[in-house]
Amino acid sequence: MNRVRMERGVSSEPRGGRVWPARWRPGSAGSRVTAWALVLAAVLTAGIGPAVTEAAAQSPMTGAPLAEAPPLISRVLDNGLEVIVLEDPSVPLVTVEMAVRTGSFTEPPELNGLSHLYEHMFFKPAPRAPGRETYIHLLDQLGIVSNGRTLEEVVEYYFTTTSPNFPLAMRWLRDGILYPEFDPVELSREIEVVVGELDRHESSPFDAFLKEVNNRLFYRYPSRKNPAGNRETVRSATPEIMRMIQSRYYVPNNSALIVAGDVVAEEVFDLVEELLGDWQPRARDPFEEFPLVEHPPLERSEAAILTTNVQNVTVQIAWQGPSIGVDDEATYAADVFMFILRQPNSRFQRALVDSGLTLGVSFGYYTQRNVGPIYLTFQTTPDRARAALRAVYEEISHFNDPDYFTDEELESAKALLEADDLFSREEVSDYVHTIAFWWSTTGLDYFRGYLRNLRATSREDISRYISTYIQGQPHVALALLSPQSLAVSGLTEADLIGEVQQ
């Protein structure tokens, strides 16, 4: 059936779409439901992901690297718009994506949620867009899939279609950029759509749990880590406020256009120059005028117990991790260490899952320019909750032991990360989201050098990452369980903080 499929809002791809990508990325538009689904999926499947084979565990991995950086072709227009092309003629499809370096990390409380609302309005270009009525009629017949998502550090708009329809998709994207419509009637409708999404997310028993973790971890500026936004701010949006956001962040030198699929790079560059070359002159960098906040470090560890009607006990322990541009080396170490811990035969999994103390456990770092969090999440039963917590903190205390992981496990983790990257390239319609995320959060140079730097990660790098961000560092620990489970478990906030109490 041919139709235009609109899936705007907080729909998940993430990933930047794998359950546990090389760097954890929760659900789009701050979807607490989606983020929780990824956390829970990772916990429950922690023991069945890509595993180190018995042979690999016994002998070092040798041979040529599995993967190299994807063959991206990029060019910057005179107005500052970066155009990135990934040619893949294997299937006659093309995905066009506009990435804008904004999101909740640009939002003080009075703007929180407006990047998300703007994402909804993007798909309603003004009737004055040249020839709009003619091609809008065609869109209903061509089956172009369109969507958008809002994350902490990027907002993305994308269209997937067959190769012959690439110019039409580009024109639709152009109109959303150049001719945004903030008609009060349409705006009021989309406000209700966004508020409805917020209501649905908050109906999840895990929404308050995850939100409370982040609110405590980023206690001074929690709105900067909440892409979905808050109901009151969204309801107060006006056309004037939306135009202010447009003028501040929707400028060519704060944006990237990514095209992947059955295209030729030079033809893409020519079409983009024709449609967006005169978007507007290069503007001042918005982050010079509106710099990011600096999230203060936690002064001490803290814990909380939330009760609701759930079956098992869920615990999340969170630390403030490294920031891109501040400690890039630690981000590579974070990825490698995560992959060591996630293997079913790792000491971490054997102690916490094979022992029966937890139903599943995950450990991951979420890449961010403005302080990336580190999350350790597990589920257990009420009668084992306190023993599981003691075992978790016991494992953390040994992370830096020389024999906590072997050299073979270290090399295997690197190889598995490379394989994970290769798997993620199988569908370029998804991989464009990965490119957009890295472009905005880390920059293309980091992205292109990722695998090379990953291979160079040493045991000493991992040790520094653990010492700097995890062992002995203040953290937030929350538990979610039913009142009946709380009574059975005897769990206390002191249990949650563990032996490394600050």
Is residue 183 predicted with pLDDT exceeding 70? yes
Q: State the burial class of residue 96 (Cβ atoms within 10 Å of its Cβ: 0-12, 13-18, 19+).
A: buried
> Across residues 475-486, what is the average pLDDT?
97
Give residue 128's pLDDT.
Answer: 62
Q: How far apart are CA 153 and CA 332, in angstroms?
A: 19
Give residue 249's pLDDT.
Answer: 98
* All structural domains of the chain with their residue ranges: 74-284, 297-500
- What radius of gyration, in Å, describes the C-alpha atoms of the chain? 23
- Residue 180 exposure: Cα atoms within 13 Å on the Cβ side: 21
Tokens representing residue 417 in the block: 């990360």
Pick from 410, 378, 408: nearest CA to 391: 378
Q: For 337-370, how does the pLDDT look when each residue is reduced to its tens digit (9 = 90+)? A: 999 999 999 999 999 999 999 999 999 999 999 9
Give the model's confidence band at 54: pLDDT under 50 very low, under 70 low, under 90 confident, else very high: very low
- Which residues are CB-neighbours of 83 under 8 A, at least 6 positions away? 74, 75, 76, 77, 256, 257, 259, 268, 269, 272
Residue pair 441/368 in contact (Cβ under 8 Å)? The answer is yes
Q: How far apart are CA 150 and CA 155, in angstroms?
A: 4
Give the model's confidence band at 145: pLDDT under 50 very low, under 70 low, under 90 confident, else very high: confident
Give residue 140's pLDDT.
Answer: 64
**CATH of region 297-500:** 3.30.830.10
Give residue 124's pLDDT.
Answer: 78
Q: What is the mean pLDDT of the chain?
A: 86
Give residue 50's pLDDT.
Answer: 35
State the architecture of 74-284 in CATH terms: 2-Layer Sandwich (3.30)
Q: What percent of the chain has pLDDT over 70?
A: 83
Residue pair 358/388 in contact (Cβ under 8 Å)? The answer is yes
Give the model's confidence band at 136: pLDDT under 50 very low, under 70 low, under 90 confident, else very high: low
> Across residues 134-151, what is the average pLDDT?
77
Give the model's confidence band at 237: pLDDT under 50 very low, under 70 low, under 90 confident, else very high: very high
Is residue 28 predicted with pLDDT exceeding 50? no
pTM of the shown model: 0.87
Q: State the burial class of residue 71 (Cβ atoms within 10 Å of its Cβ: 0-12, 13-18, 19+).
A: exposed
Is residue 53 predicted with pLDDT exceeding 70? no
Is residue 265 predicted with pLDDT exceeding 70? yes
Residue pair 133/64 in contact (Cβ under 8 Å)? The answer is no
The string over 97-119, giving b where at least 16 C-beta atoms fall within 10 Å of a residue's C-beta and e elsewhere, is bbbbbbbbbbbeeebbbbbbbbb
Matching CATH topology for 74-284 and 297-500? yes
Q: For 277-325, how does the pLDDT look when each residue is reduced to its tens digit (9 = 90+)? A: 999 999 999 999 999 999 999 999 999 999 999 999 999 999 999 999 9
Is residue 377 predicted with pLDDT exceeding 90? yes
Tokens representing residue 152 in the block: 């902490």
